[in-house]
């Protein structure tokens, strides 16, 4: 499957959603790198990326790369950092 064959409006919306999620993660990370809100944002971003891989398989990283290029931000790893707080 190639992204050029996909609905351009859908791809555009997925990129916009990724931008929002990535910017939100970085904003929360600046406030509190190991806080609950940061980890929630990390999980939202990971869920978005996993969904892309489910739907678009090999082309998913093309969408992720568009987000990285547009935001100039890095995608965090999905590991929970040592010392992260969790609300139960």
pLDDT, one tens digit per residue, over 19-56 is 999 999 999 999 999 999 999 999 999 999 999 999 99
Q: Would you kindly state where each structural domain of the chain is located, as residue ranges?
A: 7-71
Residues 68-80 pLDDT 10s: 999 999 998 866 5
CA–CA gap between residue 11 and residue 22 (Å, rounded): 16
Q: Quote the pLDDT of residue 80.
A: 54
Exposure class string for 11-31: b at 16+ Cβ within 10 A, else e: beebbebbbebbebbbebbee
CA–CA gap between residue 6 and residue 57 (Å, rounded): 13
């Amino acid at each position: 499957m190639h992204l050029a064959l996909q609905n351009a409006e859908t791809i555009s919306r997925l990129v916009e959603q990724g931008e929002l999620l990535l910017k939100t993660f970085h904003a929360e990370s600046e406030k509190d790198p190991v806080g609950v809100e940061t980890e929630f944002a990390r999980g939202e971003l990971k869920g978005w990326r996993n969904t892309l891989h489910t739907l678009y398989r090999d082309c998913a990283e093309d969408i992720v790369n568009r987000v990285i290029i547009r935001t100039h931000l890095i995608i965090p790893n999905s590991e929970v950092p040592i010392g992260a707080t969790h609300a139960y």
